[in-house]
Amino acid sequence: MSSHIKPYQVAAYECDQESRLSTATIFNWLQDSMDKFSQAHHVGPDFCQSHGLTYMLKAYDVKLNLLPTRNDSVQMDTQLCAFGPSSLFFTQDLYDQDHKKILLSAVSHVVLIDLMKKRPARVKDYMPLHLLDNLTQPPPFTPLSPLDQAHTTRVQEITPDYIDFNQHVNNTHYITFAERALDPVFLKKARLERIRAAYKQSAKMGDTLQVNTKIAPGFTDHQISSTTNPNTVFARVRLSWGQRNG
């Protein structure tokens, strides 16, 4: 199983008001670690450009055990664990400095896209064989269903600071949009235990989104779609909550 370990140190600006690693930083680190993995194994941007390919993130499943705090030193261990006809599956574990305690665990689903044909490409046609040896079966990703009802709706304008170099909304921001839809009082009392996200299509500059939220015991569901056409869904997010100690 191919692996890559990336060290991080938690900076003050990467923390929330209680000095814990922020949700936005978690997802930035997950993306950064996958980028470093691809570069280390020579399947990064240069490889994609030479073959007319790109990677598209489809889903995340992140389980949070204990978030690091300001100045903590941690390591992200990224492993390619499985592949499908056009999909790559990664496990990503964030450890403390001594590599003894797993702080969070993530499974990521990435699709290989043929830019010329604008459709998924066959992984076996492009990925080096050594990356695909001894991999397990793809982990199950239970689909996030469309919302059957919404208790609250929040409008989110897309401004330039949400746009990345691909000229669309970075995947990290959809998690932030979901969190912003919740009452700050609730967020202070609850502890985030799991984040599941499914990405359907990319929002772009000038779009106006609506974040529909359903509140249920132990979790909140969020469907992020277009205000002009609610059937245009950009992402679905489920946040699972526990009781915060103290």
Q: What is the DSSP string of 128-158?
A: -HHHHTT-BPPPP-PPPPPPS--SEEEEEE-
Is residue 109 within 8 A of residue 57, CB to CB? The reply is yes
Residue finishing a domain among 102, 132, 162: 132
pLDDT tens per residue, range 7-58? 999 999 999 888 999 999 999 999 999 999 999 999 999 999 999 999 999 9
Q: How far apart are CA 193 and CA 188, in angstroms?
A: 14
Among residues of the chain, what percentage have pLDDT more than 90?
A: 69
| Nearest CA-CA partner of 33 in 66, 6, 1, 51 | 6
Q: Are 20 and 83 within one domain?
A: yes
pLDDT score at 35: 94
For residue 172, what are the contacts with CB-CB under 8 A and spacing of at least 6? 24, 27, 28, 31
> Residue 198's pLDDT band (boundaries 50, 70, 90)?
very high
Inside any domain, residue 138: no
- Residues 119, 34: one domain? yes
Question: Could you tell me which of 3, 75, 74, 87 has the C-alpha nearest to residue 38?
Answer: 3
Residue 142 forms part of a structural domain = no
CATH number at residue 95: 3.10.129.10
The pTM is what?
A: 0.92
Angle of helix 23-40 versus helix 171-180 axis, rounded to 10:
170
**Domain co-membership, 19 together with 107:** yes
What was the pLDDT predicted at 99?
Answer: 65
Note whether 32 and 81 are same-domain residues: yes
pLDDT digits 0-9 by tens, 95-151: 987 767 899 999 999 999 999 999 999 999 999 988 988 887 777 788 899 998 899
Residues 6+ apart with CB under 8 A from 109: 57, 58, 59, 60, 87, 88, 89, 141
CA distance 23 to 195: 10
pLDDT at residue number 98: 72
Kindly provide the residue ranges of all beta strands, DSSP E only, lying in 170-232, ordered along the sequence: 190-199, 208-216, 219-226
Mean per-residue pLDDT for 62-84?
93
Greater pLDDT, 246 or 76: 76
Domain termination site, one of 68, 98, 132: 132
Please report, rounded to a whole number, the percentage of residues in the chain having pLDDT higher than 70: 98
Same structural domain, 163 and 224:
yes
pLDDT mean over 213-217:
94
